[in-house]
Amino acid sequence: MLKPYFKDQDGPPPLKAACRRVVRLEEVDALGIVWHGRYPSYFEDGREELGRRFGLGYTAFSAVGVILPIRRLTVDYLSPLKYLEEMTIEADLHWNEAARLNIAYRVFGADGRLAASGATVQMMVDTDGGLLLEAPAFYRDFQARWREGRL
């Protein structure tokens, strides 16, 4: 049993998104299973789906001069995915008061087994590279609606 990637904080439940993707030939290794280094791309698909669904994509932040570099990535590999297998990628944005995005991921194989899980931590940085101590206004508004269950 894996420990949760983020401690539950005193806040609303995570925001969730999911998408699907089929394993490409270029993604499998000589053993016919997905090379471990492809999972950051799978997680990114989930993260972008979260962004699309809730208006939190890279472009929403860059429009206000904020970029979202990844500070930490963790991947736990549980069961390999195979060529042509259709996976489901789930991404959960966890509540956090700080100017950061904490996202947990689960990748499921075609038969529903958990293939991998993981997490990313993203900081908010201005265009000069300075770390933001406070999230931009649009995101604080978003957080207020999230906390109040108005999303």
Residue number, 9 or 41, with CB nearest to a second copy: 41
Q: What span, in angstroms and rounded, lies between the C-alpha atoms of 105 and 68?
A: 17
Name the one range near a second copy by CB under 8 A: 23-31, 92-100, 104-112, 143-151: 23-31
Residue 128 structure tokens: 């000069």
101 contacts 122 by C-beta, under 8 angstroms: yes
Site string for a second copy, 36-65 (x = CB under 8 A): xx-xxx--xx--x--------xxx------
72 is a site residue for a second copy (CB under 8 A): yes
Q: Between residues 39 and 142, which has the closer beta carbon with respect to a second copy?
A: 39
Q: Report if residue 30 touches a second copy, rule: CB under 8 A.
A: yes
